Each structure stands twice: as C-alpha cells, then as structure tokens.
Amino acid sequence: MANSYKRILLKLSGESLMGDQDYGIDPKRLGRYADEIISIADKGVEVAVVIGGGNIYRGMQSDGAIDRVQGDHMGMLATVINSLALQSALEAKGHKTRLMSAIKMEQIAEPFIRRRAVRHLEKGRTVIFGAGTGNPYFTTDTAASLRAIEIEADVILKGTRVDGIYTADPEKDKSATKYDRISFAEVYAKGLNVMDMTAFTLCKENKLPIIVFDMNKPGNLGRLIAGERVGTIVEF
C-alpha cells in the first residue's frame, strides 16, 4: 500500500517527552517515539522533526525575573537538549539522523542549510531541527511551520496528547466534540487553538495542511501515514 505522504514534518511538544514524570525526559517514552519514527522511515517516508523545550524550560515562564530575549534563548537551548536525546534514541536503534541547529554550535549540530537538509532527507536520514527559528519571540510551532515550508513537506503532523481538534478543550469540557476535518477559515472563525497564530497563518498562506493527532497511542503515526483517518486534518 502506498504511503499517503512522501515527506513529513513531525512536531512534538517537549512536555510529551516527560511521560509520567514532572519534568525532564522519560527514556521509555523517548524510545517509543523513536520506534514510531523508524517504522515510517523504513517504509520510505522522509521524516523531519521539531521538538519543543517545555519539559526543560519555557522562555515565557520566568515572570520577568529573566529578560524575555534571554529566556527565549534558554528555551531554544532546551529544544537542542531534547533533539540530542531523540537523535541518540534513533541512532541507538541503527537509524541514521542529522541534527541541524538554527543557532551555531558546530561541535554538536550542523547549521541549518536548506539544501543540505533536503539532501539528508532524500538519503533517508531523519533530520531533527533544533533551536527553533534562532530568534526570540517565535515558538517552536512557528519553527515547525517554517521548516516544513522550506523543505517542501507534504504535511505537518502535530503529535499531542489529545486525539485531534475539538470544539472545546476535551480535558476540561466533557461535552466537547471532535472534528475529523476542518478548514483554516473555520479555525479562525471559531477561535480554536491549533497552533500559535503566526505558525498557523504561515501554513495557511503556503497551503500546508496540518494534522493534529495523539502521538501517545502506539501505532497512530504509522496508521496516519498509511492513509487511515487519525486525528483531525486542517485543510483548505
């Protein structure tokens, strides 16, 4: 069976790496994510990944004690820590990867160069993009949207702990109902929280679909790639 997508960008939250812990990285969760990524890469899907840093540090969490720009830079470095962890987990299982950073740190990551990133993907390497966009005031959602557009990904797959987009927060409102499909215009009109507005608008303007799905359900990523209806797709 043919894959539904040839090249994807998988966006993971830093918090998702915590598992049942209060902070940091859960090795079991990390290993399972690595297995899921390898399972689709082995089917010929070109995979790029962006991970947040919220399990370690958020730039906006200092409540003024730390300058916002400094805080955002700290958050970018947290994403590099998570990226290194995922790279290690993937390579421990024999999968080839490249880590590319928006902030130069030659000893541990390649600088982000678009053509080089695309070439790595073409060679079957999973490419992990760290350090966000390299600029303060931009989230890792925006970094994911930007990188996906730059590498001409077919879709952004936003792995969360919720199985799609709902009319309200399903963890707070038990009457919330799930959308299987929704348009960008409807998301704007209903004020739904899919990504931050900068990231979401980038996807809309570049006609890049977004699928929000539960990454913590084993096999979901593979089923999505195989064409099954998983999560919620935001389309035109």
CATH code: domain of residue 79: 3.40.1160.10
Determine what percent of the chain is predicted with pLDDT higher than 90. 83
Phi, psi of 210 (to 5 degrees): -125, 135
Residue 2 lies in a domain: no
Q: What are the b/e assignments for 102-127, b being 16+ CB within 10 Å?
A: bbeeeeebbebeeeebbebbeeebbb
pLDDT band at 177 (very low <50, low <70, confident <90, very high): very high
pLDDT in tens, 5-20: 999 999 999 999 998 8
With 0-12 CB in 10 A as exposed, 13-18 as middle and 19+ as buried, what is 194? buried
Paired tokens of 145: 């949207």
pTM for this predicted structure = 0.94
pLDDT computed for residue 170 by the predictor: 82
pLDDT computed for residue 23 by the predictor: 87
Query: Distance between CA 12 and CA 233 in Å, rounded?
Result: 16
The alpha carbon of 113 is separated from its chain's Cα centroid by a whole number of angstroms, namely 19
Mean per-residue pLDDT over the chain, rounded? 93
Residue 137 lies in a domain: yes
Phi, psi of 122 (to 5 degrees): -60, -30
Mean pLDDT confidence for 108-124: 97
pLDDT in tens, 45-65: 999 999 999 999 875 565 668
DSSP secondary structure code for residue 90 in this structure: H
Mean pLDDT confidence for 204-230: 95
Residue 110 lies in a domain: yes
Pairing, β 155-160 against β 178-179: unpaired
State which residues form the domain around 93: 7-235
pLDDT in tens, 64-115: 688 889 999 999 999 999 999 999 999 999 999 999 999 999 999 999 999 9
Residue 220 lies in a domain: yes
Residue 170 lies in a domain: yes
Closest to 231 in 3D by CA, of 155, 135, 172, 143: 155
Total domain count for the chain? 1
Q: Which residue type occupies 153?
A: A
Pairing, β 46-51 against β 7-12: parallel
Closest to 127 in 3D by CA, of 111, 103, 104: 111
